[in-house]
Amino acid sequence: MEEQQNHSSRTFSFERRKLPNFLISVKLKYVKLGYHYLISNAMYLILIPLLGVTSAHLSTISIKDLIQLYETLKFNFLSMTLCSSLVVFLATLYFMSRPRGVYLVDFACYKPQQDLTCTREVFVEKSNLTKAFTEENLLFQKKILERSGLGQKTYLPKAILRVPPNPCMAEARKEAEEVMFGAIDEVLEKTGVKAKDIGILVVNCSLFNPTPSLSAMIVNHYNLRGNVLSYNLGGMGCSAGLISIDLAKQLLQVHPNSYALVVSMENITLNWYFGNNRSMLVSNCLFRMGGAAILLSNKPSDRGRAKYQLVHTVRTHKGADDKSYGCVFQEEDETKRVGVALSKDLMAVAGEALKTNITTLGPLVLPMSEQLLFFVTLVARKIFKMKIKPYIPDFKLAFEHFCIHAGGRAVLDELEKNLDLSDWHMEPSRMTLYRFGNTSSSSLWYELAYTEAKGRIRKGDRTWQIAFGSGFKCNSAVWKALKTINPAKEKSPWIDEIHEFPVHVPKVSKVIES
């Protein structure tokens, strides 16, 4: 009993602990890293004005000037060769340094069948019928559910809802197939792309890694071509979805005229915890069934029909630090039951990772006015030791929409405060957590689908996706809308019920006080 009380105190401290103000304490090396990314990827931005000036000058040359130039160079072979070589060199340098555009043609989010709905009451009832949990831990899970931010329509797989539960390899494969194939079928239907046209396949699922792999299951089911470049990412947590996007982007830079299919999901069936370690029980209360499929292309011809263009990806890994490495850890409890333990240091670790990622991303996306104010203030405080208030950049000037991983309500509350975001900006994340729960790496796509279903995406809008997960990692992706999205023409998991949202979800502090 004493051990259970200790677990309780550790978990409740996790619930109440606030995210550090990661914009107040900033390290110069991450600002430098952001500018390094900006400069190293901007060679073509320097060449474009140079070529533009050259073209403008050439446009003023008349036929008479060209004839005179020809007569001059006709007797000066060396000058003509050097001039021609310079033009060819500049043109080659421009086209070689310019990265290929990566376009998001379309995406789809899986929506489970109605019979897989799990209300809070059903969750408590099914947990009680398993006879696996003590009365104290049943009450504990009920309290976590009440403050989790999850609504009454989230989904769990059949194997977990069954009495008694049947968590086995066969059921886990069924869940994986249902989620992956459901999302992929929809995205192929929406885009009209044939499975044989897919040249790159990236699948991420953190806790379920069967043999053959999940990517092999997709290759087999859709009869993908024999030279498809397939990758299966495991054990990389909730931020793996953006890692998959970044990997696909890198591959699309070296494989022209290709389609890349990214599939993000988590598997619940084999990863439900049936023990009484409270640090592991929290995952049962938060994670739910879901997945997404995203079709990317580097074909210039797809730009006209694509929804978004990928502008930036920034990845941050804090795994070198022991505290960060162990804050989300899959292990056995004292009864040899496997679960994922959440450390009391999780919020502090998340804050450090977020701070690093955002500091690196800032120079790439913030307007020059914001960068100057931030940089001058930072130098004054860090180098000249001036006691002035730190300047917090306004990221709302860089992005119209925010998709923040729906990991839990406490983190969303703190990010809203630290980034000075409004309820409108946080709405996609909060409503995704409420409607679908924490669907791990796919949550960002439910959030983007929500934004589309609300009719908020306009041509030119910028969307910031940010996710964090075990390791500890924090990753960002920035997308630019290539067209205005008409929700009436979209098929999404929200479209039949979007009129019901937003709903009011009280902040964590109010829940705890009550």
Phi, psi of 316 (to 5 degrees): -125, 130
Tokens representing 303 are 């730009």
Q: How many CB atoms lie within 10 A of CB 256?
A: 11
Pick from 309, 426, 411: which is nearest to 20 by CA? 411
Pick from 208, 213, 204: which is nearest to 262 by CA? 204
Task: Say if residues 109 and 183 touch (Cβ distance below 8 Å).
Answer: yes
CA angle at 466 for the pair 331 and 102, rounded to the nearest 5°: 115
475 is catalytic: no
Catalytic residue among 405, 418, 425, 474: 405
Q: What single letter denotes the amino acid at residue 339?
A: G
Pick from 162, 109, 137, 468: which is nearest to 289 by CA? 109
| Cα–Cα dist 494/69, whole Å | 65
317 is catalytic: yes
220 is catalytic: no
Task: Say if residues 410 and 508 touch (Cβ distance below 8 Å).
Answer: yes
Catalytic residue among 401, 418, 425, 475: 401
Sort strands 462-469 and 401-404 into parallel, antiparallel or unpaired.
parallel
Catalytic residue among 118, 205, 238, 403: 238
Helices (H), 237-276: 240-254
Sort strands 259-265 and 291-297 into parallel, antiparallel or unpaired.
antiparallel
Cα Rg for the chain, rounded, in angstroms? 26
Query: Residues 167-199, buried b or exposed e (16+ Cβ, 10 A)?
Result: beeebbbebbebbbbbbbbbbbebbebebebbb
Catalytic residue among 204, 267, 438, 475: 438
438 is catalytic: yes
User: Which residues make Cβ contacts (< 8 Å) with residue 360, sequence separation at least 6?
Assistant: 30, 31, 33, 34, 37, 314, 316
Residues annotated as part of the active site: 238, 317, 401, 405, 438
